[in-house]
Structures are given as C-alpha cells and as structure tokens.
Amino acid sequence: MARKLGRTLSDDLGRWTLITLALIFVLLPIVWLAIASVKTRNAALAIPPEFIFTPDFSAYARIMSGGFLGAFQNSLIIALSNVVLTLVLGVPAAFALTRMHGKVQENLSFWLLSIRMAPLFAVILPLYVLFKSIGLLDTPIAVSLAHLTLTLPLAIWMLVTYFRSIPVDLDHAARLDGANALQILWLVIIPIARPMLASVAIIVFIFSWNEFLLAFILTSRNAQTVPVAVASLAGTMSFDWPLIAAVSVASMLPALIFVGFAQRHIVSGLGSGAVK
Amino acid sequence: MHILERSNLVLRSGQYDEEFNSMVAIRLEGIRKAFGTVEVLNGIDLTVEDGEFVVFVGPSGCGKSTLLRIIAGLEEASAGELFFDTKQITNVAPAQRGVAMVFQSYALYPHMTVADNMTMSMRLSGIPKKQRRIRAEEVAEMLQLSPLLDRKPAQLSGGQRQRVAIGRAIVRNPDVFLFDEPLSNLDAALRIETRVGISQLHRTLGNTMVYVTHDQVEAMTMADRIVILDQGQIAQVGAPMDLYHHPANAFVAGFIGSPKMNFIPVTEVSRGKNSLRLALSTGEEFELGLHLTHDDQVVLLGIRPENLKVDPDGQIAGTVTAVERLGSETLIYVAVGDATYVEKSTSDISPSIGGSVRLLIPDQPVHLFKANGQAIAHETILPPR
Ligand SMILES: Nc1ncnc2c1ncn2[C@@H]1O[C@H](COP(=O)(O)OP(=O)(O)OP(=O)(O)O)[C@@H](O)[C@H]1O
Ligand SMILES: [Mg+2]
C-alpha cells in the first residue's frame, strides 16, 4: 500500500512538472502581453524591462476611443455568422454524402476537400474582383463568405468522417418509426453528433476570429476585423505598444468565452454514452 | 423472461391501439436484388401465412438480412413484387407498411431514454407526451423494463437493451414483426431465455413474424416453417421436422441437425429390386435394403450421427480419433480413409481413442444424393414382422 502510494506520488510529481512547464511555455507570452498592456508607452519599451511599476490602464481607455469597438463588432459578426453558415450548410451536406449512395457522393467529398488544397493566393484575387463587382467589398458579409469557402469543406469533411461512424441501422430504425430524412437528421444524427458539431464550431470560430489575409484584402475601413486593426496599429508612426497589447488581450476574451461555451457540449456529449 | 402473461389485456387497453391487430400474409414474387453487378437474391418466391412464425436461415452472406430489409422497405428490390395480403406494397414507405423490426445491433437511439426510444414512432406521428408515457409504461411492464424507463441505452445490460428493442417494436402494434438475428449479441443462457420469450410473444400476440438467424437451433425451435436460403436462392421451405427428415438436397441436409449429417462419397455398384450396392472410396462395398424409384446415380450417402452406429457388424471399418462425452449423449469421431464421421449415441459405452471400430449404416433413415446435390427418393423395404 505504502509503495503504491509512493509510486503514484512520484508519478504525480512528474506529471505536474510537465504540465507546469507546458503552461509556462504557453502562458508566458500572454502574461507578458497582459503586463505590457498596463504599462506606459515608455515603460513598455524600456530595456531591461521594469518589473515594478504602477499599472496604467489608459491603453484600455484608448480601445474605446480609438474606434476599436467597431472592429470587435465586425469580428464577432463575421466569426459567428461563419459558424452558423458552416453548420447550417455543412451538416445536411455531410448527411447527404454519408447517407445517400451513388457516384456523385463518392467523388464529391474528395473534391470538396481538394478546394482546401488550392493556395489562398489563388483565390484571393478572384474573390476581390467578385465582391467588388457585386458591391460587397468592405462589408462583414464579404469576409464571412470568404471564410466560408475555406471552413465549409473542412467542416463537411470532419462531419462526414463522424457521420460514417454512426450505424446506419439507427437511420433504418428511425425510418420504420416514421421519420423522414430531415427528421432522422434532426432527431437522431445531430443529437448524437453534438460533440462533433461543437468541435467544428470551435475550429471555425477560432479560424474566422484570427484570420488575417482575407479580412485584410477584402476590407478597408468599415468592416475591419480585430487582427487587421491591430496590424494597422503597428504600421503607424507612433508605435503604441501598450495599445497593441491591450487590444490583443481583449481580443482573446470572445474566443475564450465561445470555446468555453462550446466545450461544455463536447464534455456532456462524451458523457451521454457511446453509440453502440 | 416470463413476459406477456397479461400482455393481450395490456395491449388492448391503450388508446393508441384501438384498431385490432390485423394479421397479414406476406407474399414475395420473383424478388431479386443486385448490388451493382453482384446478385444477392436471385428470384425469391414465398408466401408467409398470416400469423405464421417463419424463420429465414442460411450461412453468412446468403442474403437473409437483405430479404428482410426488402420486406421492411428499407431496401428496394431490383425486381419482383411484394404483397401484404392482396395489397401491392412494393412502393409503400417503410413506416406505412405496418412492420416493426428488431435489429441485431438493437439500433437504440443512444441519446434518448428507454421510454423515448420505445415511443419514438408515436412522437413522430404527433401523439402527445402523456399518452406516449402511458404506452411506454404498459409495454415496459410486459417486458419487465419498468424500473429502467428513464435510463439511457448505455446504462443498460445487453439483455435489457435487447428487450427495449423488442419493446419498441411492440409499442407500434405492427401487423408484422421482423427480427434480424436479435439474439446474436447475447450470451448462451440469455439467448435461450429470450428465444423462449419471443416464441411466447408470438403465441400471445399472434402476429405474422419473420425471423432471421444463422443458428439452426433457433430455427428448429422457434419456427412454424423454416426457409433455408443458399446463395440468394431458397434451398427448401418446410416445417422444422420436415426439413430434418426430408431434406430436398445435400445443402439442407447438412445445414439442419447438430452435429452435422455425415456425408459419405459412394459409387453405385449394382442395383437390385430391393437392394442397393454401394462402394466406398476405400473400395469396401456394402448393401442397403432400399428400393430406388429413380435411375439417377447415387454419389453421396447422408446419414445423421444419431442414426450411425458403432457396431461389430458394421459395413465400414475405421479408427476412433476423438470421443466427446456431453452427459446425455456421447459423440464418437471415426476416421475412415481421409474422412471423419461422427456417431452420436445415448449410451456411455465409449471405445478407446485409436481403437478400430466398425460403423453400421442402417437401411433407414439414410439420405441419397445425386451429383447435383438433389436428394434421390427411395423406399425402404421393411423386413417382414
Ligand atoms: N449495401 C450493400 N452493398 C453491397 N453489397 C451488399 C450490401 N448489403 C449486403 N451486401 C452483400 O449482399 C450479400 C448478402 O448480405 P446480407 O446482409 O443479406 O447477408 P446475411 O445473409 O444477412 O448474412 P449474415 O448472416 O452475415 O448477416 C453479402 O454478400 C453482402 O456482402
Ligand atoms: Mg444479416
């Protein structure tokens, strides 16, 4: 008993050391950023860095005054609408691909994924011209749709893999119970696939929230997203390091909240029991 | 499972099933099914009488499940027609056919409680929750599932899941029950118990039931009639003991009965009025007191282990290779040339392994087969009393 206890103790020790190291590695830059955001401009650039200073929250005030709230709003609209569109279009598509049989279905899923293999540069210019000609340039819709072209194939591909693992006997049982295809999807497949839907939502949200290149090309003033706004700060003559840090810290919050919310579905889904 | 003592009463009480259980005959006419270029069913003609318990049996991959799914409407036949009574239902949607199915995997909805699983069909036809609950409780009581109604499938044992799957079928009060190997995921003891339970269910409800299995014991014990399928074709249809005593071909003869029938390759030496002289591949010859009504050549002699005898006067010499004592019976394996034959006896005399014995083939019951595997009709000339 005592020996067993000793072993688990050293086991724990090793595990905690590893976790601590990993946490330091991941969190140090964020902590550094957070500290920088509450320094004055001069203190933030001082070498060697000062560790003892009086916090100065004026950078956060400047987020409000500097028009960053608009960027946050744009980013949220783009990311959330992209999540919704990806799921609304991706789930039925994946269902059709896994539950209907034919030549089309076989080839389509690979073809869908191959869209993702095209380099981003190859699609940016056509997208720019397209949105310009239909007057959507510099709107959140344009960015959201552009993101959708990348997230939808990925989502379909992930969902197809998952839907395949759901036994088709469940569909058969539901059909005998009187369900049509949409009811099978809504009442059987989606509830079972909830953890996967949450994972897809997280991946899509984070992608959209962080994406820079498309947002940069397709927006100028009105629909600027947070990453674009931060980048534009770095370009100005007066290099406002605390402000950049403050925006970066603030931009983490929505993603954290979203992931935390979606994560609950993953955990509760895992707890509700396997398919078989 | 002492299910269903009061089930008739219970079943008639719900509002949901005011219309009476109608019994339905199923008629299959020239049903064919191909997946791509692979022919899985090659023309099935069959009538299942109303109220009958019919078992489809056959080796893995012979098309049993496919045929069942075609009856359910889950699979479309490539050709042929399907009737329930006189109604053509080839193009009727599965839910409208009045069939309920129990799947081998049970196919319970993992995210729903037992009660919701059982009453999904009612939910889909818009029946309010309260009535669904009442119905679920009725059926749960029959199947002793009452304490489990609010559990999810993952929290049930295999046997309980199986009963929920049967419950889901009963709730719908279908005309026809379809079972696809419903017992194959249960352990041996539970399998026998549930087998008895399903037979009981059939007696109480009186519905037409079609049951798929590859286990010939299940087929023999449960069926009114057995349909033996072989490579997408019906090898024979008949009552269990009919198939046992009068197999139409070597496939059926080998499939029904345990241990399997012994097949002894023979060549015909001569044929008298009341006698048939055969030679074994070893060259040994022996005579049977049989009268053949056809002139087809006999190439295979079939004899069940329970009809073979270890006897000093036997026609065939062999060596004992193994003895299995099962308590009520003993199986003796005898090697003759490069074949091994099984003798089943109820006595517990047992020869020693490696010893020489002789096997006695009686005049009857034996089965004779011609080159294409079909049985050859014959009469036994009984010795005068
Ligand atoms: N969707 C399908 N596509 C292609 N081939 C199929 C399909 N479903 C079944 N088959 C083939 O049809 C044949 C019959 O299948 P089926 O499931 O009816 O067999 P079974 O008699 O039920 O066998 P088992 O006892 O193993 O369940 C098999 O050879 C199988 O590979
Ligand atoms: Mg099968």
Q: Which of A177, A185, A190, A197 has the highest number of chain B CBs within 10 A, making it the mutation to test binding with B? A: A177
In a domain, A249, yes or no: yes
Q: Do A172 and B111 touch (CB under 8 A)?
A: no
Q: Does domain B3-253 have CATH number 3.40.50.300?
A: yes
Calculate helix-pair angle for A68-99, A226-235, nearest 10 degrees. Answer: 140
Contact A169 B125 (CB under 8 A): no
Q: Which residues share a beta bridge with B345?
A: B330
* Residue A14 resides in a domain: no
| Overall domain count for chain A | 1
- Please indicate if any CB of chain B lies within 8 Å of the CB of A99: no
In which residue ranges of chain B is CATH 2.40.50.140 found?
Answer: 259-380
CATH topology of domain B259-380: OB fold (Dihydrolipoamide Acetyltransferase, E2P) (2.40.50)
Which atom of ligand 1 lies nearest, measured to the CA of B229?
A: 21
| Residue A4, pLDDT score | 53
- Closest residue in chain A to residue B118, using alpha carbons only: A177
Confidence of residue A238 (pLDDT cuts 50, 70, 90): low
Using alpha carbons only, give the angle A142, A202, A274 rounded to the nearest 5 degrees. Answer: 135
Choose among A101, A117, A109, A218: nearest CA to A155: A109
Is A173's CB within 8 Å of B94's CB? no
Q: What is the pLDDT of residue A270?
A: 52
Tokens of A96: 């059709």
Please give the residue that has the higher pLDDT: either B274 or A97. A97
What is the structure's pLDDT at A6?
A: 58
Any domain includes A235? yes
pLDDT tens-digit profile, chain B (385 residues): 444 443 433 444 343 343 445 668 999 999 999 998 999 999 999 999 999 999 999 999 999 999 999 999 999 999 999 999 989 998 899 999 999 999 999 999 999 999 999 999 999 999 999 999 999 999 999 899 999 999 999 999 999 999 999 999 999 999 999 999 999 888 888 999 999 999 999 999 999 999 999 898 999 999 999 999 999 999 999 999 999 999 999 999 999 998 999 999 999 888 888 888 999 888 888 888 888 877 788 899 999 999 998 888 888 889 999 999 888 889 999 998 888 999 998 876 778 888 899 999 888 789 999 999 899 877 765 554 4
Q: Is A276 at the interface with chain B, CB within 8 A?
A: yes
Is B124 in Cβ contact with A178 (below 8 Å)? yes
Largest CA distance in chain B: 78
CB A197 within 8 A of CB A189: no
Structure tokens given for A215: 């947002």
Q: What is the pLDDT of residue B99?
A: 95
Is A216 inside any structural domain?
A: yes
Q: Is B135 in the pocket of ligand 1 (CB under 6 A)?
A: no
Q: Is residue A5 part of a domain?
A: no
Q: What pLDDT does residue B382 have?
A: 53
Start-end ranges of CATH 3.40.50.300 in chain B?
Answer: 3-253
User: Distance (Å, rounded) from C-alpha B45 to C-alpha A178?
Assistant: 28
Tokens of B265: 């390759």
Amino acid letter, B62: C
* pLDDT single digits (tens) A150-200: 899 889 989 998 999 999 999 999 999 999 999 999 999 999 999 999 999
Residue B381 pLDDT: 54
Tell me whether A175 touches chain B (CB under 8 Å): yes
The closest residue, in CA terms, to atom 28 on ligand 1 is B61
- In the reported structure, the alpha carbon of residue B66 is separated from the centroid of ligand 1 by a whole-number distance in angstroms of 6
Query: Is it the case that residue A217 has pLDDT exceeding 50?
Result: yes
**pLDDT score, position B12:** 40
The neighbour count for residue A147, using CB atoms within 10 Å, is 25
Q: Assign residue A213 the CATH number of its domain.
A: 1.10.3720.10
- CA dist., res. A223 & res. B202, Å (int): 69
Q: With contacts defined as CB-CB under 8 Å, which chain A residues touch B69?
A: 172
The predicted model gives A1-9 an average pLDDT of 58
Q: Which residue of A has its CA nearest to B103?
A: A169
Q: What's the rounded Cα separation, in Å, for the pair B241 and B247?
A: 10
Q: What is the pLDDT of residues A101-143, one digit of tens each?
A: 777 777 776 777 777 777 778 888 888 999 999 998 999 999 9
Query: From the CB of B35, is ligand 1 less than 6 Å away?
Result: yes
Is B265 close to ligand 1, i.e. is its CB under 6 Å away? no
**In chain A, how many H helices and how many E strands?**
14, 0
Residue with tokens 């949901």: B16
The identity of residue B169, as a single letter, is A
| pLDDT for the residue B7 | 41
Q: Does B35 touch chain A (CB under 8 A)?
A: no
